[in-house]
Structure 1
Amino acid sequence: MANYSLQSLPPDQYNINFVSGGYSSRTLGLTIRSDIQSVLQVALSKLAGTVSGTLFTQAGIAIAGGTVRIYTDSTIVGFITTDQNGFFTFPSISPGTYSAIGTALGFQNKLLGAIVNPGLTTAVDFRLVPNPGRLTGTVTSTSNQPIPGAVITVRADNAQGPVVFKAIADSDGRYLVPNVAAPGNYTFVAAAPGFQSNFCGTSIESDITKNCDIILEPNPGTVTGLITNAQSGEALTAEAIEVRILNLFGVIVGSVFTDQSGRYLTPGLAPGSYGIVVTNSGFQTGIASAIVKSDEPLSVDIALLPEPGSLNGFIADAITALPIPGANVQVLAEDGTLIGRSITDLQGGFLVTGLPPGNYTVVAAASLYRTGLNGAVVLSNISTTVPLALTANPGSIRGNIEPSVFGIVIQLYNANHTFIATVASNPQEGFLFPNLAPGNYSLSAIAPGFAEGRTGVRVTAEKETSAFITMLPNPATITGTITGEDTEPIVNATVRVTDINDSLLGIGSTNAFGNYSIGNLRPGNQAVMVSAPRFGNINGGITLAPGGTVTGVNFALTPNPGSITGQIMNLSTGEVISGASVVLRASDVTGLQVKNTTSSPFGNFVLSDLAPGPYVLLAAAEGFASHQIGVVVLSEQSVRADVSLDLTLGNVNGTVTTDTFAPISVNVQIKVLTRAGLIITTLIANQDGTFTLDNLLPGNYILSASADGFITTVTSVQVIGGQNAQAVIRLPASPASINGRVLNTVTRIGLQGSLVTVKNTVGIILGRGFSDSSGFFAIEGLPSGSLYLTALSDKFGASSIGVLMTAGNTTTTELELTPNPGFISGFVTSFPDGSPISGAAIQIINESKGIVTTVLSNNQGFYLSPGLTPGNYTTVAQANDFSSERGGFLILSDQTVSTSFTLTSLPAQISGTVSQLESNLPLIGATIELREANTFGDPLIRAITGANGSYVLDGIPLGNYTLTGQLTGYQSMITSTAVTQAGQRQAINFELQLNPASIVIIPTDSTGRPVSGATVRVVDTTSVTVQEGQSDARGVFLATGLSQEEYTVVSTASVLANGDEELFLTNSVQKQITVVLPSNPGQVTGQVLEEQSIRPIAGAIVQVLSLNLIPIFVSASDGTGNYTIKGLDGGSFIVAVSARSFGSDSRAFNITTGGTAEVNLSLSPVPGNLAGTVRDERLVPIYRVLVQVFNASDLLLRQVITNFTGQYGVSGLDPGNYRVQFAYPGKQTQQRTPLIVSFETTILDVIMPDEQEE
């Protein structure tokens, strides 16, 4: 035993390194207190390794008198000077991973990794480059007094990078960092006893001296605690344990070791939230949270689990396969947390230990190379190998930040929101991110006292891109507690705050009491996502006011989570794809990104700790088209989700401007959605308003653009393989906004975490948000007019109401949700082989015709909805290269119903353009609705026009359809078509006229009280539904886009009977009308059967009309052929039914007030069709002739209109004779009696003479 003594140590926390020949070095922490002699005894192990090497110039000349330092994180464990041959050796190094820094006067320092093994020598040779940079500065107090003895820790590359130097401030508070490698980013953390640590950052250039002054505040807080074994509860004292302290912005502000009793003490910290990362050999890395207060100690004990896994690998040149030494390797967990890092050695090798089992993303960066990513699945007690090949010719980002303040941190994320790097900046300088792969990135900047500012950047190879970020004053803060369902606090839960575009605004972890605090947040309606090991994730929301603090943002997590495993493969070859991005999103219209990871070298991935339920999983890889499928997670089970990616892809180049074509430079957020409305990706546009979307599967997409102070606008784009599509989005000013509360119908208490969406009357999402702990929500950037507002909660179902928005104003409303929802599930398969269809989108539509949510089928074709409020629903199933299919179902409380779909291949397609009649200019953002069967049918497919006014309707099955083209400020236009062949392609163009009319519609009950949430349908003289929606909280609905003609307004409500009124409109005129809904409604029920086999027909279209042929309700039969239609007034009605591949039937029925009628219908399985052309006496085709087909009982069976060329088509008629009537204003009504033959199309052309003058 050897004795030692260290005298005259000032009170502080110290890391003490012990080195003795023949033994491995060891570092322990020790707290020195005033006037107390501290005792520190240590035992050294003989299991030691050696690090040796040589310092050379680039020309290979040995450098004598150079210095080499060995660090374990921020603690130096070895220091030596090279001999005359440039040689050095470090014996007695404890096994582990280290960073070695070689330097010499006049040369830039060089950083390499060193993996030390017992009894072996690790070679570390340095080749140094001349012309170093330098850094100097002062460390002072807030009273401008120098702080001598302050320790400045210098980290390279990023704010969490390796330590390359430590400096001590002199008597004037000045420090000097010589021989700095350039160019490069550096972060400087200053600490001194009695002061709060602080930092600054800069980028260094060759032969240039930079200045970085740091001011330290007094009255620091500290954190102390005990590190224990999570299984035994005993303190870990056998080895010193490294403890790193990260501030809220991701900067490592301290690194200490535990003492011989297993306790640690941090240096002085500024008030705020911190992450404490603990690593120890043989244990999994532990992470805890600490909320530090000024001048107060805080105790945070941390328990470590044994049986860690590890990662090893090699970083090499993608062309030469030569190793890349000195590369910086970061290891990210599924929630994006940096959990480990390493520096590659001379052979390009790296090792990261202490990893909990799970999926990790490995990010490797090296000078003159593009940053690369790969994934790894880590198992306990196993070391996983992850190779990474880096490509040369990187790009870079250089930028500036406003305002210029101390403590700025900039974070960089790639297109899939994977964290890449963090750098710090000082007020006099901007920032630099070098060595980047080409592609889309987002940048966020944050500083004490400011909320994050952000921008988007497109990086190109071998070019430097400029960026400018403006931070926001008056940031907000949230605090809360995370518990289990048993109210026990959950330690180390991760709380992430994001905006609705997946941009991370803040992140925090819970402490031992389950508490967390996240500051510096951007005001507005933001999403909150919570996850924790061994618990299911949960999503919520929060509305933040500038400078406000919201407390009590609490969440209860459910135990027994599930997980997802899978493999990413090449669709063409079946080969695995490594390094693919795997993004898991919520299976609802928010599409919130829940998790993000990267596939391993074997293409595998794992996503863990997931709440049971449906999700959307998207895979993307460079050179492949991204693809998404549905996944249903089950409790305590691992479900499989493999994804194959296609090499056929296209790109989109776009621009966002104001409606006067001026650029919008700040925070323009872009969403890319499928035609079914599911999010594929999000990004922030460049500062000139341009954006580029890469790696999209050919097809039609919806683009949504939003920016503060502007109206969210949607358009479409058609992506063609191998081509660059163009998109232009113009954002008008004067947006409207809405706020309100989501309430529990039973208790009237606000519901937290409800998804609230705003859609236009054709179902396109314009805004979304979450309700906070009081049920409050707020959504901005909305257009004026009548819109749908829907609230959805998994445990409470969904509710919708209309909202009438006015430009520049805020509307307030309420929605109520009922507990104990039901669910729908089923399978989507192909015809005729019955194989499952993965990635099919199932839209779920309520009785008010609002799209409640959309879910995707998994690899087995299975889908599952979130919770749905009891009632009648219809569904539309869509899949690429298949025809769309409609279904119906009835949801009952606490029950799951089944509805499956069989989709046929070779769908038809309708495309065309929408232009202005007066100028022939293309109209962007117009919507096209395709309604099937009768003119008053429900929409099956919708599309939006793109940059040149073009649109595409995909997935159209055989049948006849009515099309409506509409755009705010224009009169709607209608036409018809019939699809008679699989794979048919049609072109239909629309010319919209200015000066539309409008109707203010107020549904009331019999007492004259307005009815909120009533369904309103406006039909023209041919019974085409021109517009539909819901009345708002005041009972008002605004119907726009109407022409000069007669209309019928039909309204229904859940507890009232139907009502209707007629009126005549003239151009540019707005009229108001009241529709009275009687009380005590009745209903009709029945079943739709096949005529011959008597088997039920699912998805049949069921329509109820009044005797004067006004359409009242449209629904669909469920999986057993049953239907129920409520809300009918007493009287006589007609029910008409048709189904694809079947005939049609209609029956008359009477219903008493409040009564129930039963009407069963049967359809022929061998239908025929009717088609023809209607002309006038001069043989000119007549547009919009009303064609009505009556059955043998003279009841209306089918109804269509002629198109622009006078053609019409009626598909699906039972064989037999019919009366067909042709009517048009100013023409003599014609009657015909054609014979319909099975599987044949009867051609019936008609001439309509002019009416005779009286």
Structure 2
Amino acid sequence: MLTNVNKGASPALILLALTFQLTSVFADDTATLSGVITASGPNGPVEGATVFIGNIDQPMPPLKETTTNAAGEWSAEVEFNGQPELTVVVEAAGPEHAPNRHGGSVDFDCYFNCGGGDGEFTIQPEETYTGLDISLEPGGRFSGTVTRSSDGQPLENAMVRILSPDALHALRSPHFRGFSDETGAYESTLAIAPGDYHLTAHPGHGDNYVIQAWQDYSCQLEECPILDTDAIEITAGNVTDDLDFALKDGATVSGTLLPDDIDRVVRLYDGSGLMLGSYFFESWQSNEDQWEFTGLAGGSYYVELSPMLSSEPWLRVLHNGLLCPFSGCDRATGSPLVIPSGASLTLPEITLESGGQIDGELIDADTGQAPVIAGENSLGTYDIVSDDGTVVGGGSILVDDGDVLLWPSAALPDGEYYVRTYSTFFGDGIGYRRLTGDSSTGYLPGYVDAMYPDVACAGVKCDLSAAETVSVTDGEITTITIELSTGSSITGSIVDDATDEPIPNAIVRVLSANNETLATVYTDEDGEFLVGGFPDGEYYLRTSMSSSPGLGDTGPQLPYFDHLYGSTSPCSEQLCNAVDGTAINLTGDDAGPFELRVDQGPVISGRITAQPSGLQLSNGQVEVYDSNGAFVGSYRVNPTTGKYQTTALPPGDYTLVPIVSPAYTSVSAGGGSGTVSATSTSTSPGSMDAPLSSDGFVVSIDTEDVSADLPVIDMGIDRIFDSQFEADD
């Protein structure tokens, strides 16, 4: 405890006394940790191993880092800096030994960097902790050179990063990376476990070169199609060498964004709509208004310019002048920017324009009070709709002190708009949880979605003629109140017909008699669902085993036929006719449970691949048509796996059309790049032939799954380098 200092003492004496007392307080604010690092088996101690002591609450920088002596022994003092205790992990690795943790295991990417996994323990000041021993398995390292592609000159300070076999995790610690010297040579410092890995080479800070994945695959900033690249093999006791990279000159796009007295952001997307990076301006940085992205591989791009927060009164806009008035808008819209490899493009100065906004509240139509609330504060989002039914904006629905509020929307141009509570972005309504049983989200149980001021909607379907528009004026917030009524909910389950097992995370669609989707919901871990409320009327139920509920969700990829409630036959997505099922007549009471039994069947799956590299795109969808030209469904690419998958299909010929963005076209007879043929990778009788049309590919399927990769090309690259991409005869 600090003692009192005489008020009449001199400042120098006071400072001396305080310094002495503080020194006394923290003099013993350390703990001593020690142990022995050995090699597995009979190989004895490991000399020169690096020992890492990390705080699980703040892993980097480490609390302490040290090395072992000839006996494999290590000891370190850890400072507490006033903390009463610390929870730590102890890890070790050597130039010939892969990393391991004392007392537990850890994910591949976590070594020497984070506190996840097992083996955590608590230490206190003035204590000694011994026996923190670790046994290490043999490992290997990697080496090579990094040079400039244009002239072969060495690149100094480049970093070569190693990623896990599934390409989802990169070792974060610099100990397991390679850094090039003045000759361009690099070699990783500490070993990793034997196995196959992926590598990426990154230019030094401030150098404008394209990140490259092994071998010779160019990345767009930090976005690399790693799963498609070649792997390197690390073997125990060896350095895998000759892993050489030649980095290409990077392309640059830049510009100026005003006004400089507001918080704003510039986001860059590739031609498929995948976000590559962001450039933030804060209002206190009033002298900064220029932005720049370097290290681009070249091709088509989209740039979004917007306020920092979507609830601010400034219009979000794309580089081509198209509005992007809410967070769910499709950035890959309209004409892209086209930038050749190594070139620079400066956009004209852009000033964000102000707009009007909408906010308000939801109330119970009968009581005039806030509706009954279940769950957490966030209730999803609401839609702002134009007079032709197009969603042009939106905002969040939040709970504040018991009231249900429409949070200020993203800014909109002057005009008349409709407002409804249903969210097309996620495909869910106000009266249920999109993920049945998910306690992290809130909802208004049993309430019917509505359009301003009080028009009850059947999910997404509202009668615009009965609703009123909301006037939006530049610089103003229009406040509204939407009155909600209660309705009927529908419950049920999805079950595998062959096994009687419930199917979790599958989608159920509520349909109208003319096959319109009114609402979607996921099943919970028990395969059960609840969706509602709905006004009185007739509704139909259908599974949706491999499709997306909305723009903000990829959806499941389950190899089943779909099923209509009340139908005796399986069907496939849009080929299902709602009236072939049994109508559910809602008259104010909840209905169900209804059991939907589904059968497994053959599916078509694959990737959308960019030509000429053949690398997969993680954005996009595939439209499927049967041999009669009837639309079967649209199937999103899963951004994690990079694959699309259809619902189960009956035997026949189908036309698959890859849809990415206006920047891409199919590589086909009419696509400007010649005809590219492909074959099925399945051992089944299915096959993929030359395109049926300029946009689609015919795929035949029988009773087994078929794999079909669908080639597309960035038309920006095609225009720049057309002669390089002519298909072989």
TM-score range, shorter chain: 0.3 to 0.5
Who wins on radius of gyration, i.e. which is larger? 1
TM-score by length of 2: 0.37
More helix by share: 2
Task: Work out which structure has the larger RCO, using CA pairs closer than 8 Å and 6 or more positions apart in sequence.
Answer: 2
Normalized against structure 1, the TM-score is what?
Answer: 0.24
